[in-house]
Amino acid sequence: MIQRVVWTLTFAAQLVLLVVILGRGRAPRYPWFTAVIALNALRLMVEVLLAGRVAMIPFSATVLTLADLSVLASLLVLVELARRAFVGLHRPLWIVNSAGLAIIAIGILAVWGPWPVWKNLAVGTLLGNLRLMQLVMQKGELLVALLTVGLGALVVVFGRKFKAGWRSHTFTIVLGLAVVSAVSLAFQGGLQIAVLTQHIQTRAEFESTKIILSSAQQIVYLAALIWWISWLWLDEPGAPEQAASAPSQEPPQAE
């Protein structure tokens, strides 16, 4: 029941956020962020409304397809936010920092958790393709979380020197994503440590703990949605004054 309430509140908050983004004209600046919120809302609606009402394979294929699309869009969100946060950064330095962050994240991903044996996936069969899609979802979400935390750290430290001051929309979006990602990584890491140290010994204990952590993570995501709604409703500080006081760029008319 608690999980269903959290899902309902999260879905409602996602819709409100979309209304704010579209109504306040933020979508042209953050199109991929808008797309990710819409995909997450659609994915949540499908999970809640179709679970138990359609056959398992079509249901799994639909959910995994949306999840993989969300991973791809989330990677584009990071590019979008990084470009807006570090306007004016020289291209070689931008490339070096991006490559360094990607190498670190991929290195952590390579050693994080078990990886399946490729031949056991049976790619080419229906179930094998679903397993591959699930692997892309799990490892893709982990990679996105690692990159997001890294980007969040860079924006917090260096953002004010460029175009991501702490009251800017870019900063608030990155901060919300980074907090959600950090909590997700902490929960996943804690769960793996609990299994390795045998604090969790049975499958039932593992599933119960996973449900509890998933609900807690959903609450953190709900808090982030409320944070984004609040900040994206407001204009960035100084924006109206700058627009009103900006001198005209038109050349003087000849007498």
Q: Is 157 within the bounds of a domain?
A: yes
Q: Is 147 within the bounds of a domain?
A: yes
Q: Is 249 within the bounds of a domain?
A: no
Give the pLDDT of residue 76.
96
Radius of gyration from C-alpha coordinates of the chain = 21
d(CA 46, CA 59): 8
Give the pLDDT of residue 12.
94
Domain count of the fold of the chain: 1
- Among residues 85, 89, 220, 227, the alpha carbon closest in space to that of 156 is found at 85
- The residue ranges of the chain whose pLDDT is under 70 are 1, 163-164, 198, 238-255
CB-based contacts of 106, cutoff 8 Å, min separation 6:
143
- Among residues 6, 141, 122, the alpha carbon closest in space to that of 64 is found at 141
Contact predicate 215/4, CB 8 Å: no
Give the pLDDT of residue 19.
96
How does 40-64 read in b/e, with b if 16+ C-beta sit within 10 Å? bbbbbebeeeeeeeeeeeebeebbb
Give the pLDDT of residue 239.
59
Enclosing domain of residue 217: 2-90+99-235
Helix (H, G, I), strand (E, B) or coil at 211: helix
Give the pLDDT of residue 64.
92
Q: Is 172 within the bounds of a domain?
A: yes
Give the pLDDT of residue 255.
35
Q: Is 200 within the bounds of a domain?
A: yes
Helix (H, G, I), strand (E, B) or coil at 212: helix
d(CA 53, CA 36): 26
- Residue that is written with structure tokens 């430290």 in the block: 157
The token duo for 164 is 């991501």
Q: Which long-range contacts (CB under 8 A, 24 or more apart) does 214-217 make?
A: 214/3, 215/2, 215/3, 215/6, 216/183, 216/187, 217/180, 217/183, 217/184, 217/187
* Bridge partners of residue 125, in order along the sequence: 123
Q: Is 13 within the bounds of a domain?
A: yes
Q: Is 194 within the bounds of a domain?
A: yes
Q: In 159-202, where does DSSP find H-type helix? A: 169-196
Q: Is 135 within the bounds of a domain?
A: yes
